[in-house]
Amino acid sequence: MPTVRKRGDLQWQAIVKRQGIGFASKTFTTKKDAEAWAKITEAEMLRGAYISRRDAEKITLAECIERYKKDVLPGLRGVGHEYILARLAEAFGKLALAHITPAKVAAHRDARLRAGRSPSTVKKELAKLSVIYKLAGQEWGIAGLENPVLNVSRPKEKNSRTRRLENGELEKLLAAAPKPVELLIRLALETAARLGELLALEWRDVDSARRVALLRGVGGRGTKNGDDVRAVPLSSAALVVLQELQALPLSIDGRVFYWWAGSDSFNKPWARLCKKAEIEDLRFHDLRHEATSRLFEKGVFEGVEVAAITGHKTLQMLKRYTHLRAADLAQKLG
């Protein structure tokens, strides 16, 4: 028979033991809840459906985060993973996996949004937490685990950023930029490549004769959309940029833009440059929007061809990066 005993003023502990099956216990704030849980758990044990949650009750999220850093993080591309893991550790690190409930996850979501974090950032945090639970349950052997994120709605993103270079901004950027940054900006506008792809570009992947460059992504682990490699055509202006880069001291590791280890190490130089050039609210990623829009404005390529250059998997995704100026379109109307 299950045992229910009082522990303190506001706690009731339910204990279920079955010889040859196992032992389970859980604490509740009411005797009624304790008795109900004990009854269900005993029935599950008798029909062989009980799964012990002992590990889920004991192992903390902080422990899982450390394992994720060791086993998974080294193989990931992109930036920001460490930041997200740090935020999750702050919010839930001391809690056992079984004690992180949908209500607590929802409260974290709301608190982050109130603190001014963007919906995109909060969605990434929830997605990372969900991935850790999936790994813990499916690959790390933590049985009886329920993913609390699955029952929490994700904040809606407002993908309405349409920032493009205004008149004179490019000239101000190039005039204020050190030579390597100037060349990085110019090549980004000619290729529509992501910052991480450009920083990972190696000279061995540049074929000036065929006017093609191969983008492999950060650390050679593939591009953001999962392609092992993506070929981008090189315009005459892009070839000029590469020639100017070859006139500079070359790197030992063979990378074209060896001055920065990765995208995160370029953030502060970019911020300083924009401040010096007196340009506000411009991200380096906005240059990808600018370059993509220019490909359409040239009238040389169609949607599928532009997607092949930029690496977008669908035309819907490509549309998000294409911001044609109404004034320019008006000129075409005559």
Catalytic residues, by residue number, are 194, 224, 285, 288, 312, 321
In Å, how far are 64, 97, 247, 326 from 93, measured between CA atoms?
A: 9, 9, 50, 49
Residue with tokens 């001391």: 94
CA distance 191 to 63: 42
Residues 6+ apart with CB under 8 A from 207: 213, 214
CA distance 78 to 100: 28
Per the structure block, which two tokens stand in for 251? 């790197």
CA distance 93 to 105: 13
Q: How many CB atoms lie within 10 A of CB 176?
A: 17
In Å, how far are 119, 287, 291, 303 from 171, measured between CA atoms?
A: 33, 14, 16, 29
SS3 147: coil
Rg (CA), the chain: 27
Please report which residue ranges of 146-207 form alpha helices under DSSP H: 169-176, 179-191, 195-200
